[in-house]
Amino acid sequence: MKIHHLNCGTMHPIATGRMVCHVLLLETDRGLALVDTGFGVRDVESPAERIGPLTRVIRPEFDYHETALAQVEALGFDRADVTDIVMTHLDSDHAGGIDDFPSARLHVSARELADADAESGPSPAVRYRPWRQSTHPDDVHSYDTTPDDWFGFAATSLVGFGDDVAFVALPGHTAGHMGVAVRRGDGWLLHCGDAFYHRSVVRGGSIPLTLAFSQFASARKPRLAGATRNRLADLHERTSESIELVCAHDATLYDESAGIGHL
């Protein structure tokens, strides 16, 4: 298996600095798999309709060449080569590109899918806006149990990937938020989605106040999200030589990983 690290959406929130939408592209025996999708072509073409007032907060560049579709094609593949999309959650800056791969099977937690489809209130209306406007894939595989143990975290293997890719429960940002663990040689890469926003959460050190506030304010269950961050910091301390932790928006973590081209 080969891993590509893609930035599928550069953002410039006020007083925060550059942020990214860190997406994984996996070359597997069954085809290509995306872990999250970042912003998609429809977001670039119609940001006011798709993202709405959130654009004034996260200030995305909306560059077509940063979409997953453009980057998949730049690597010499076709959109039809993407057989699977694995979602940490369905927020707008993660799910916008799902539309661009209509033949792919979508993997998502059942709780996240239910909330994205039907949860009421202003926050769900904003965060799930592109998903609610999209044509959903015909093949959606939702996961409502996490019967396995992954280094002390509840987890489940994903259909079609054997033991090489797993959902890891990282709740708090949303109730159904998942990390995605990808086997890498003798170790693992864990994409933590929005479980944390800044590398210092797991590595230690100071966290910029703007990011600390953002990760608190954007969490549907702040106390649970805090507990998840503490568990990830403990995981990093115990397993840093065998497990690499990345998140969706830390540009430094993305830059460190982007040069890694294979398992």
How high is the pLDDT of residue 31?
Answer: 94
Within a domain: 262:
no
Within a domain: 263:
no
- Average pLDDT of span 151-175: 97
- Average pLDDT of span 194-220: 95
The closest alpha carbon to 38, from 254, 236, 198, 259, belongs to 254
Instruction: Give me the CATH number covering residue 58.
Output: 3.60.15.10
pLDDT of 97 over the 70 cut: yes
How high is the pLDDT of residue 262?
Answer: 37
pLDDT of 145 over the 50 cut: yes
Within a domain: 192:
yes
Within a domain: 50:
yes
Instruction: Label residue 200 by pLDDT band (50, 70, 90).
Output: very high
Query: H or E element: which one contains 125?
Result: helix 122-127
Instruction: Label residue 263 by pLDDT band (50, 70, 90).
Output: very low
Q: What is the percentage of the chain residues whose pLDDT exceeds 90?
A: 92
pLDDT of 119 over the 60 cut: yes
**What is the C-alpha separation between 260 and 25, in angstroms, rounded?**
12
Q: Checking phi first, is residue 44 left (phi over 0); if not, alpha (psi -120 to 50) or beta?
A: alpha
What's the mean pLDDT when you consider all of the chain? Answer: 95
Within a domain: 89:
yes
Instruction: Label residue 14 by pLDDT band (50, 70, 90).
Output: confident
Domain count for the chain: 1
Within a domain: 245:
yes
Within a domain: 252:
yes
pLDDT of 27 over the 60 cut: yes
Q: What is the percentage of the chain residues whose pLDDT exceeds 70?
A: 98
Q: One-letter amino acid identity for 241?
A: E
Task: Please write the tens of the pLDDT for every residue from 167-181.
Answer: 999 999 999 999 999
- Average pLDDT of span 219-244: 97
How high is the pLDDT of residue 260?
Answer: 47
How high is the pLDDT of residue 198?
Answer: 97
Within a domain: 236:
yes
**What is the C-alpha separation between 98 and 222, in angstroms, rounded?**
27
Domain that holds residue 148: 2-257
- Average pLDDT of span 70-97: 97
Strand segments, DSSP code E, in the chain are 2-7, 22-28, 31-35, 82-86, 105-109, 140-143, 148-150, 153-157, 165-169, 178-184, 187-191, 243-246
Task: Please write the tens of the pLDDT for every residue from 30-64.
Answer: 899 999 999 999 999 999 999 999 999 999 999 99
pLDDT of 135 over the 90 cut: no
Instruction: Label residue 130 by pLDDT band (50, 70, 90).
Output: very high
How high is the pLDDT of residue 175?
Answer: 96
